[in-house]
Structure 1
Amino acid sequence: MELNIVDLSRLQFAITALYHFLFVPLTLGLSVLIAIMETVYVMTGRTIWRQMTKFWGTLFGINFVLGVATGIVMEFQFGMNWSYYSHYVGDIFGAPLAIEGLMAFFLEATFVGLFFFGWDKLSKLGHLAATWAVAIGSNFSALWILIANGWMQNPVGSAFNPQTMRMEVTDFFAVLMNSVAQAKFVHTVSAGYVTASVFVLGVSAWYLLKGRHMELAKRSMTVAASFGLASALSVVVLGDESGYLATEHQKMKLAAIEAMWETEPAPASFTAFGFPDQEARETHYAVHIPWVMGIIATRSLTTEIPGIVELVGHAEERIRKGIIAYDALQDIRAAGSTAAIPDDAREAFEENGMNLGYALLLKPYVDDPREATDAQIAQAANDTVPNVPTLFWTFRIMVGLGFFFVALLGVFFYLSARHRLDRYPFLLRVAVFTIPMPWIAAECGWIVAEFGRQPWIIEGILPTAAAVSNLGASTVLMTIIGFSAIYTVLFIVEMTLMLRAIRKGPEPDDEPEAAFGPRAFVPAE
């Protein structure tokens, strides 16, 4: 079997990204939860809340270090494995990454030190401010990363310069306020809050089952259930917004998620279950719910959602227009100067330039897209369809888990309000076994987001196959093996440290109770 440099480069980035995202959601959520706990401590003066902040802060610190280590590697990969991508869009994509590193990362990292080592050196309000700065910095990091990623999904505020052969910024504010980026940000951070809430809930449930640290566990569960329920509900709402935006900007992704092969009369039905067959272009044993998909995706009863077959036909039309743009681009570059560009070439590129990326889809089949045959054009158009079964099932796993988290956190919110958290051991065991599930949902979400826009690395602009570095396949394969080995070791180290810290439990806190404020913010039960 011949090793494919494009597939290997994609595999390497997928491995490092999925490993990295094992640490990101917990960092996002725990940073906010410990800030809430310390706020209660400052308000009430009760040392149990300081003990809770320190304990969960220790677990946050372990996770934070591993997240930083794995995240740095990902940024270097853009230069190592995706050099043409970095050259093509570096002016746009590099700006959010630079801001993330200079502002958000340093803000977060600086105040992490104050959080861990400033307990006896800062005032209560000063330390609380540092803790909130950690939480804000964590979320700022996610914001800038998702602005960069959102631009890849919806490349606004930019234009292709035929003289430099690069994408350049035309409106940086449009890049910042990209609707796809904003929706991805709030959806992603809310998912992180759910992850941390389920983690805190599950660990606290384990303590209750063991009869250990009861006071800390009950208060932690109360905070996690309240914060987590609100976050889980927001994930559902914001996920709906992402689907609505996909209808506008990524129609093929939406059709693939639904395994919608043919365009249906509006409003389209939702396929709750089925087995998509990409080769036959049909879904076996499909169970449809009338109207639901049309209402969710278009928020109307009259707007059609185009099916995969229709979208492939549109892609073929755009490829043919892209060939015209490619031909005009060659004339523009051959002219040497702006004044020497032929008028017909200029007009042809202005009219068809937005389809240039579609002509590049032919590069795997022919060196010069202008020489492509009808069969090659049809084949390139079919390449715009991602792997439908993968998207179909990962999306449904993600959505199913999302509704399960709403139900679980809702139940524990009710139990905490009734002071019955320790009354039902079965529910406590469910909470413990639920701990890994938010990570499964988060990874499924990233698979849907990133796998769903293939074959594009930048939607409609640059195919993934055209963005890789000119490396040997064996070189990339060796780095995949190396990264997988190192990351596996790091993951084992983190799990060992986390489990050791959880088994050990919180350190006793001998600070005297404050002489002011209410005796307890949450009933001790």
Structure 2
Amino acid sequence: MDALDVARWQFGVTTVYHFLFVPLTIGLSVLVAVLQTMWHRTGNERYLKLTKFYGKLFLINFAMGVVTGIVQEFQFGMNWSDYSRFVGDIFGAPLAIEALVAFFLESTFIGLWIFGWDRLPKRLHLAAIWAAAIGTNLSAYFILAANSFMQNPVGFRINPDSGRAELTDFFAVLTNKVALVTFPHTLAGSFLVAGSLVVTVGLWHVMRNSGSADTGAYRFATKFGSWVVLVSSALVVLTGDIQGKIMTEVQPMKMAAAEGLYTTESPASFSVLTVGSLDGSREVFALKIPYLLSFLGTGDPHGTVQGINDLQAQYASQYGPGNYAPIIPVTYWSFRFMIGFGLAAAAIALLVLWSQRKGRTPTSRWLLRAGLVMPVLPLLANSFGWIFTEMGRQPWIVFGEMLTRDGVSRSVSLTEVLTSFTAFTLIYATLAVIEFKLLVRYARAGVPDLTPEPADDDTDDAERPLAFAY
């Protein structure tokens, strides 16, 4: 083990942990805005209760996401200074815009939304949550644009004197074909997570408190969340299909590694299960679906998909001696776990809708247990999706331009990286416990009581201090 190995583990752990909060924040911000819009248009009190209820869960998650996200930027300077030096002129631009525009937009309007209840006009207050949701989604796009440059470098040139990548076309970076397809795929995955949380909390209250006055609100939330899960699942499949074709075009090795495809095939079969040799150089056993991989990768059932061994020979000739294949078991299984966990969440959403058909109240303990684990499934799907995306790019940190081993900080020792890795992991584990307990505590509490408190006639409304609405 050396500093490079630990630095990679640290970035992987902190990134995956941070991304546990990101999709829920992205999806829930929009769903809360939709619920408030429904209350604004109908005046139905149950939509207001659901807005404040899920809004509270959104704010808890948003706060944790901000805390864990800050650490990410420090790692670029501490553990990956050579990478930052090489690509900072390009990578820093979308991240700077994300911080200066998108993040401050969402933070400002979330503040107005929190403290603006009963103070701002209803339309302005509604606009505040929509502006926060838009800012959240803009943040995602700029970050994905930066990451997409690592997958498919565009809009740059290499300065022969400094050896650094320099930005020549910022618009090309923002309209990178990888970013354009990754963004809707990520949004769909985020709504899958948010919808699952809405379903879980609503279902728990429907089954445990079926006789309460707020049962109607919980039943609506359960159905609303289930439909969000089903629609977003369909969008995940659609955008994932497009993304697979783009991936085959710009990163053929990643597609080959995802399928354990060692030799070039035309037509190529989709691998349901593949067992490779210990050295990862050939296939030992495979269970396949004919023609499917060719269609997924090229759009043509008879299309050609390049294999790992052929691409390895091509890259060795193009870039010099070395191993240019990622760790095949990691890419192969992370790709399947991503698909499997996402489909499992959609299946549970279907069962939840079926259990409530024609006004029925679900009673199955197995359904309740499935519902309780439901939010974890799309979270795992999103996490394995990012593991596949980043590990499938290896050994490149910037595909075709810089190897991961060349991006690590040369002056940081193994002990220093190991110390920071241990500290961050312990802190993140503590934050995970706090996040879980807060979400469970407020989810169990249920929707708020909207009975107005007695007014104090001696206090003018303009003189009242700002109050945290939650």
TM range (shorter): over 0.9
Q: Quote how far apart the aligned CAs of 1:423 are.
A: 6.0
Partner of 1:492: 433
Q: List per-residue Cα deviations over 1:200-258 (Å, max 9, x = no partner).
A: 10111111121254122111112212222211110111111111111101111111110
Match of 2:159 among 158, 161, 176: 161
Instruction: Please show how residues 434-473 of structure 1 align to structure 2 within 5 Å.
Output: 434-470=374-410, 471-473=412-414
Question: Would the alpha carbon gap of residues 431 and 83 (structure 1) be closer, same or farther in structure 2, given more than 3 Å must change?
Answer: same
**Is contact 2:207–2:363 with CA below 8 Å preserved after alignment?**
no
Q: Quote how far apart the aligned CAs of 1:435 are.
A: 2.3
Question: Would the alpha carbon gap of residues 280 and 451 (structure 1) be closer, same or farther in structure 2, given more than 3 Å must change?
Answer: closer
Q: 2:408 matched to 1:482? A: no
Please tell me the residue identity of whatever aligns with 1:217: Y
Question: Would the alpha carbon gap of residues 423 and 209 (structure 1) be closer, same or farther in structure 2, given more than 3 Å must change?
Answer: closer
Q: Quote how far apart the aligned CAs of 1:37 are.
A: 0.5
- TM-score in terms of structure 1 length: 0.83
Q: List per-residue Cα deviations over 1:333-377 (Å, max 9, x = no partner).
A: xxxxxxxxxxxxxxxxxxxxxxxxxxxxxxxxxxxxxxxxxxxx2
In 1, Cα distance between the equivalents of 2:355 and 2:155? 49
Q: 2:49 matched to 1:48? A: no
Please tell me the residue identity of whatever aligns with 1:477: L
**Is contact 1:262–1:306 with CA below 8 Å preserved after alignment?**
yes
Q: 2:308 matched to 1:308? A: yes
Greater radius of gyration (CA): 1
**Is contact 1:398–1:444 with CA below 8 Å preserved after alignment?**
yes
Aligned length: 449
Q: 2:458 matched to 1:503? A: no
In 1, Cα distance between the equivalents of 2:381 and 2:277? 24
Question: Would the alpha carbon gap of residues 185 and 149 (structure 1) be closer, same or farther in structure 2, given more than 3 Å must change?
Answer: same
Matched residue of 1:120: which SS?
coil
Q: Quote how far apart the aligned CAs of 1:418 are.
A: 3.8
Match of 1:420 among 338, 348, 360: 360
**Is contact 1:258–1:270 with CA below 8 Å preserved after alignment?**
yes
Partner of 2:238: 237
Q: List per-residue Cα deviations over 1:77-118 (Å, max 9, x = no partner).
A: 111111111111111100000000001100111111112111
- TM-score in terms of structure 2 length: 0.92
Please tell me the residue identity of whatever aligns with 1:97: L
**Is contact 2:81–2:408 with CA below 8 Å preserved after alignment?**
yes
Partner of 1:358: none
Q: Quote how far apart the aligned CAs of 1:415 are.
A: 5.5
Match of 2:335 among 391, 395, 401: 395
Q: 2:38 matched to 1:37? A: no
In 2, Cα distance between the equivalents of 1:192 and 1:172? 27
* Structure 1: tracts of 5 or more residues without a match: 321-376, 513-525
Q: Quote how far apart the aligned CAs of 1:137 are.
A: 1.0
Q: List per-residue Cα deviations over 1:114-145 (Å, max 9, x = no partner).
A: 12111111111111111111111111110100
**Is contact 1:205–1:429 with CA below 8 Å preserved after alignment?**
no
In 2, Cα distance between the equivalents of 1:455 and 1:408? 38
Please tell me the residue identity of whatever aligns with 1:105: F
In 1, Cα distance between the equivalents of 2:330 and 2:160? 37
**Is contact 1:278–1:389 with CA below 8 Å preserved after alignment?**
no
Q: Quote how far apart the aligned CAs of 1:189 are.
A: 1.4
Matched residue of 2:125: which SS?
helix
Partner of 2:259: 258
Please tell me the residue identity of whatever aligns with 1:301: P
In 2, Cα distance between the equivalents of 1:127 and 1:107? 15
**Is contact 1:26–1:192 with CA below 8 Å preserved after alignment?**
yes
Q: 2:197 matched to 1:199? A: yes
**Is contact 1:154–1:249 with CA below 8 Å preserved after alignment?**
yes
Q: Quote how far apart the aligned CAs of 1:63 are.
A: 0.6
Question: Would the alpha carbon gap of residues 253 and 504 (structure 1) be closer, same or farther in structure 2, given more than 3 Å must change?
Answer: same
Instruction: Please show how residues 111-130 of structure 1 align to structure 2 within 5 Å.
Output: 111-130=109-128
In 1, Cα distance between the equivalents of 2:43 and 2:300? 52
In 1, Cα distance between the equivalents of 2:402 and 2:324? 12
Matched residue of 2:166: which SS?
strand
Q: Quote how far apart the aligned CAs of 1:425 are.
A: 5.3
* Structure 2: tracts of 5 or more residues without a match: 454-470
Q: 2:297 matched to 1:297? A: yes
**Is contact 2:356–2:362 with CA below 8 Å preserved after alignment?**
no
Q: List per-residue Cα deviations over 1:257-315 (Å, max 9, x = no partner).
A: 10001112x22001111323351523343101100000111101343111111001101
In 2, Cα distance between the equivalents of 1:243 and 1:432? 31
Matched residue of 1:192: which SS?
helix
Matched residue of 1:147: which SS?
helix
Please tell me the residue identity of whatever aligns with 1:303: G
What RMSD in Å do the two structures reach over aligned CA positions? Answer: 1.7
Match of 1:69 among 67, 70, 91: 67
Q: List per-residue Cα deviations over 1:143-167 (Å, max 9, x = no partner).
A: 1000000111000111111022111
Q: Quote how far apart the aligned CAs of 1:414 are.
A: 5.4
Instruction: Please show how residues 260-275 of structure 1 align to structure 2 within 5 Å.
Output: 260-264=261-265, 266-275=266-275
**Is contact 2:291–2:302 with CA below 8 Å preserved after alignment?**
no
Q: Quote how far apart the aligned CAs of 1:411 are.
A: 4.2
In 1, Cα distance between the equivalents of 2:133 and 2:273? 39
**Is contact 1:401–1:438 with CA below 8 Å preserved after alignment?**
yes
